[in-house]
Amino acid sequence: MNILILLVSLLTVGTHASMSSSNLIAKIRCFSPHACQQDRIQVINKAPLLEVIIVKRAGHEAWLQVKNGYDKKIAALEIRKRPGGIGMTLDLVRSQRSIEPGAVFEFRVHLGNPSRFTEEELKQEPQIEIVVVMFEDGTSEGDLQGAIEIDGRHRAENIQMGRILALLQEAIESSNTNSSEVLERLKKEIAALSTDEGVEEVFRQSSLKYAITSEMNDSINGAIKSGFHGAKDVALYRVLEIERGLLLGGGAQLKERLSDVKEHFQKVFGGK
């Protein structure tokens, strides 16, 4: 299953009257008269205390508003959608937006482009499945495999980010005053980081925590590898941002920006 790690803007709003259901058929409220292609979306919820309040659709996207009915902070949600069978993770910890107990928040799910669906998929009613809820304390409710995948991906991200933090520190301490050369070397070093080294160890750690069956192996290993890849992608993006915004000849400015990025990564992922 392809996992899409989304940087989602979550909007915390006030308390609303809510309805809870493990299998909700929601009427859609369109943003424009021509936006809706179908008039219903099925929402399957495996986390019964995560209350689905509103589902609405605009074009190829659905907006869900849900309420955290648990007594713990929500750290992540795993979502699957059909047609297409694609999975996505709302990683709230990484975006530093954990959902407090009782809070109402909303997020969007891209339903896919019908022009890319098969004839059989076009006949299917749109479906969104809330597979698992992960809490800040490491516990979860819902699908076990989804929880294992999130846990493995987080472990892999942390390992890879540890390597990236070391490279950032080397760049900060570099005696080279040529900003372009420092950034070019840093990009190459990050791009060269292995996405295979550590996969077996993360899987071993996950297997000590969870009861993993042989049928789960491929999907869990894929999630772990996506963690190693994802950390690299995030780091390269931030370095490119520095490169685009850096003024010519700003050696001291470069080190300041690199230090800011390092501090942000330490805050989000941990590490030194």
Q: What is the 3-state secondary structure (H, E, C) of 152-201?
A: HHHHHHHHHHHHHHHHHHHHHHCCCCCHHHHHHHHHHHHHCCCCCCCHHH
Domain boundary among the residues 87, 122, 141 is at 141
211 versus 120: which is more confidently predicted? Answer: 211
Residue 10: is its pLDDT beyond 60? no
**Per-residue confidence at 34, pLDDT binned at 50, 70, 90?**
very low
- Examine the domain organization and report whether 203 and 130 are in the same domain: no
Decide: 83 and 121 in contact? Cβ < 8 Å: yes
Domain shared by 218 and 151, yes or no: yes
Give the span between the Cα atoms of 68 and 59, in whole angstroms. Answer: 27
Q: Are 121 and 173 in the same domain?
A: no
133 and 153 share one domain: no
CB 132 within 8 A of CB 142: yes
Cα gap 139→36, rounded to integer Å: 37
Integer Cα distance of 192 and 210 in angstroms: 32
| Domain finish residue from 95, 126, 141 | 141
pLDDT score, position 87: 67
Percentage of the chain lying above the pLDDT 70 cut: 77
Domain final position from 115, 141, 167: 141
Report the number of distinct structural domains present in the chain: 2
Domain check: are 152 and 136 in the same one? no
Cα three-residue angle 141-145-149, rounded to 5 degrees: 100
Full-model pTM: 0.74
Residue 2 has pLDDT above 80, yes or no: no
Say yes or no: 43 and 136 in one domain: yes
95 close to 8: Cβ distance less than 8 angstroms: yes
What per-residue confidence (pLDDT) applies to 200?
A: 95
Rounded to 5 degrees, φ, ψ at 8 are: -105, 135
Domain limits at 219? 146-269
Alpha carbons 34 and 94: distance in angstroms, whole number:
36
pLDDT confidence of 249, banded at 50, 70, 90? low
DSSP SS3 for 56: strand
Average pLDDT over residues 125-137: 87
Q: How far is Cα 116 from Cα 204, in angstroms, rounded to an integer?
A: 38
Gap between the Cα atoms of 153 and 207, Å rounded: 14
Which range, of 16-30, 108-122, 181-195, averages the lowest pLDDT? 16-30
Other beta carbons within 10 angstroms of residue 207's beta carbon come to 15
Beta bridge partners of 90: 6, 77
- Look at residue 56 in the predicted model and tell me its pLDDT: 83
Predicted pLDDT at 271: 66
